[in-house]
A and B are shown apart, each in its own frame.
Chain A
């Protein structure tokens, strides 16, 4: 009994560690998502956020990080379906709202805290501008530099 518990815990732990290693994210294959969510920034790969995060984001595109990013009803349904279907796993976190920003996730902050030069940051303008530093980002490659 005790052994199974430990084993389960171990598997869960390893599982979490694997999803945190995101040096490759699965490329977006849906044209609508790629174009509609790639107009103001690169279309972020859905595996970076859990399903509930995508639902919340898609429910309020009129107030989208300070912009209006609304799409028509039909497109919204199709986009949500794709994002939710390819979403990442839910990670353990403190109580409260699901994360809405990839750039605030713990692994992201850890990965970018020390390695990113001030000059690169300034050039990118914002950390959500993945392609400024990862040339293959829109194809899902992040281990380039």
Chain B
């Protein structure tokens, strides 16, 4: 009986750790390709972090355009909610769970990282910043 308890405890821990693993499990082959693109640029010794991605997304930055101090200026503080452009057009939620075709086309992803990083930070984002952002949003 005792050993059975032990086994189930181990199983429970295994199960929990599986469930709690941030879930680019939601990501399909197209998203995997894009992550791999940035992983190759960042180098194999870099591990992307959803926590860092969240911090980056929420932060107020300097150096960019006055109307865009943060990613949240347009995307709102919730990845699950729709945002608005400065011309008041709706932007679909950034979370992959809400908008299924997000992060599936490299040309689009590159274009918006270029524009939005320049608008918010006044510079390109590093491959690590991009990777962190992507694993954060793919896990949302």
Contact = CB atoms under 8 A, between A and B. Distances in A.
A128 B87 contact: yes
A96 B135 CA distance: 49
Which interface residue of B66, B85, B89 has the most chain A CB atoms within 10 A?
A: B89
A115 B116 CA distance: 36
Contact of B67 (A39, A62, A66, A70): A66
A105 B6 CA distance: 77
A126 B88 contact: yes
Contact of A68 (B84, B87, B88, B116): B116
A39 B111 CA distance: 12
Contacts of B65: 66-68
Secondary structure call for the A interface = loop
Contacts of B115: 67-70
Interface string B101-118: 000000000010011101
A124 B88 contact: yes
A126 B87 contact: yes
A132 interface: yes
Interface in B45-97: 65-68, 84-89
Interface string A12-56: 000000000000000000000000000111100000000000000
A128 B119 CA distance: 21
Contacts of A68: 65, 114-116, 118-119
Interface residues of A, number: 19
B66 to A, nearest CB: 7
B118 A40 contact: no
A44 to B, nearest CB: 10
A110 B65 CA distance: 32
Contacts of A125: 84, 87-88
Interface in A113-140: 124-126, 128-129, 132
Q: Closest 8 interchain pairs by CB? A: A125-B88, A41-B87, A40-B85, A68-B115, A68-B119, A129-B88, A68-B118, A66-B67
Interface of B: 65-68, 84-89, 111, 114-116, 118-119
Interface of A: 39-42, 62, 65-72, 124-126, 128-129, 132
20 contacts: A40-B87, A40-B89, A41-B85, A41-B87, A41-B88, A65-B86, A66-B65, A66-B67, A67-B85, A67-B115, A67-B119, A68-B116, A68-B118, A69-B115, A124-B88, A125-B84, A126-B88, A128-B87, A129-B88, A132-B88
